A and B are shown apart, each in its own frame.
Chain A
Amino acid sequence: MPLNWKAGGLLLGLVFFLAVLLVKPIGVSTQFVILDGIVGDAVNSELVTQTDEGYTSTNAYLAKSNGKYAKSVANPLNYSFVFVLAMALGGFLSMRLRGGLDQAERSMPALWRANFGDSTFKRYALVFLGGFVVLYGARLAGGCTSGHMMSGMMQTSLSGYVFAAGAFAAGVPVSLMLFKKEA
C-alpha cells in the first residue's frame, strides 16, 4: 500500500523543493536522449566531437543550444544523468524495504490483467509502444511529467500548464477507453 495522499504529497513536495533549493528543478526525459547519445557515440565515435568552444554533434538535436546535450553525452558523470541512476537505486531500495514486489505484479499490473488477460507478449509489446510514444512526445514537448508538469507548474511556468493540459486531455480519455474493468 502506498502512503496516504497527504504524507506522500508532502514528501514529494519536499523533494521537489529541495532540488530547486540546492541545485535546479527535477527533470528526467532528457536523459533518455543522453543515453541514446552515449550508445550512439560508442558505435560511431564521429557522433559527438570536441570543438574549441565545447562539444558538437553530427546530430542536430544533440548539437542544439551550443552542444549542451553533446557535452553531457561526452561527460556522462554529470548531475542530471547521475540523478536518474540514483532514482533507480532509490526505487529499488524503497521496494526492498517494504518487502519486495508481488510475483504477479512483476510481469504486468493487476489492472492490465483484469482488462487484457495475462499474455506477457501483449503487455510487453504495448508497453514498448507506450514507451516510444511517451518519450517521443516528451522530447517534442521539451520535458515530461517531472520537468514540465511538476517542476513547471510549481514555478508557475506557462509551458507547464500547456503540457499538463495536453497530457490529461489525452491520458484521461485513453485510460477510460482502455480500462473499463476494475482490479
Chain B
Amino acid sequence: MMSIVLAIVIGLAFGAVLDRVGASNPNFIGKMLNLTNLNLAKSIMLAIGIGSVLMFGGQMLGLVDVGHMSVKSAYAGVFIGGLMLGAGWALAGYCPGTGVVAAASGRKDALFFIAGGLLGAAAYMMTYPAWKNSGLLDGFAGGKVTLGTVPGAKYDGLTAFPGDILGLLLGAVFIAVAFALPERIMTAKSKAQPAE
C-alpha cells in the first residue's frame, strides 16, 4: 500500500515537472535535437548531475540506501535500440514517458504515439526470441556494471575507482557541462538578403 502511495506522489511530481521543463512539448524536443535551442538539454544535464551528486553524496553519508540502485545490463542491443529510439524520438518528438504526459496534457498526436508504442512493444515481445538467440542481448564489459566500484552495491565496477567518489565527480561534470553548453549551436538561417 505504501508503495502505491509513493508511486502516486513521485509519479505526479515527475509528470508535472516533465510538463514544466518542456520535455513533453515536441517543439522543444525538436529544437534540442536540431541544435537550435539547447535549454532542455541543459535542464536534463543539470538534472542528471544533481541527481548523481545527491544520490552518491547521500550514500557516502549513509542517508541513501545503496540497495536502491538499479543498474541495467550493457549489451550491443542497448546501442541498436538507442539508435532506434533516437530516430523515433526525433520524428515524433516524444519518448515513452513524455508521450504519456503529452497525451494527458491534451496533445492528440501523442495518443497516436502511444498506440504506435503499444504495437512496437508487442512486436518486440513477439520477436524477442530471435534477438535472444542472436547473442546481441548478451552483456559486454561485465553487463550490469557501473563505471567505478560503488561500495556496498550489488554491481561490479568497470574500474576499481571508488564508485561513489566517481559519481560525485561525474555529477559535477554534468552540472558544469549544463552551464557551459550554449543555448544554441546551429546558427539561424539568414533571411534572404535584398538585392543590392
Q: Which residues of A contact B (CB under 8 A)?
A: 2-6, 8-26, 28-29, 31-33, 35-37, 39-40, 59-62, 64, 77-80, 82-95, 98, 100-101, 105-112, 120, 123-148, 150-172, 174-176, 178-180, 182-183
Contacts and interface: CB of A to CB of B under 8 A. Distances in A.
B85 A83 contact: no
Contacts, number: 514
Interface in B1-47: 3-4, 6-22, 24-28, 30-31, 33-36, 39-40, 42-47
A39 B18 CA distance: 27
A4 B52 CA distance: 21
B49 A13 contact: yes
A123 B112 CA distance: 9
A36 to B, nearest CB: 5
B118 A126 contact: no
Nearest to B115: A128
A38 B47 CA distance: 33
B85 A141 contact: yes
Contacts of B14: 15, 19, 26, 83, 86-87, 90
Given A2-B21, A82-B4, A150-B44, A61 B167 contact: no
A88 B24 CA distance: 11
A87 B68 contact: no
A107 B109 contact: yes
A110 B27 contact: yes
Nearest to B189: A182
Contact of B115 (A111, A131, A155): A131
Interface residues of B, number: 129
Nearest to A144: B96
B82 A131 contact: no
A151 B88 contact: no
Contacts of B190: none
B92 A126 contact: yes
A151 B114 CA distance: 22
A129 B87 CA distance: 11
A21 B64 contact: yes
Contact of B11 (A85, A172, A179): A85
Given A12-B21, A134-B89, A139-B124, A154 B55 contact: yes
18 contacts: A2-B39, A9-B50, A28-B96, A84-B11, A90-B101, A91-B15, A91-B24, A94-B16, A109-B25, A127-B91, A131-B118, A133-B84, A133-B91, A134-B113, A139-B121, A142-B81, A155-B71, A167-B86
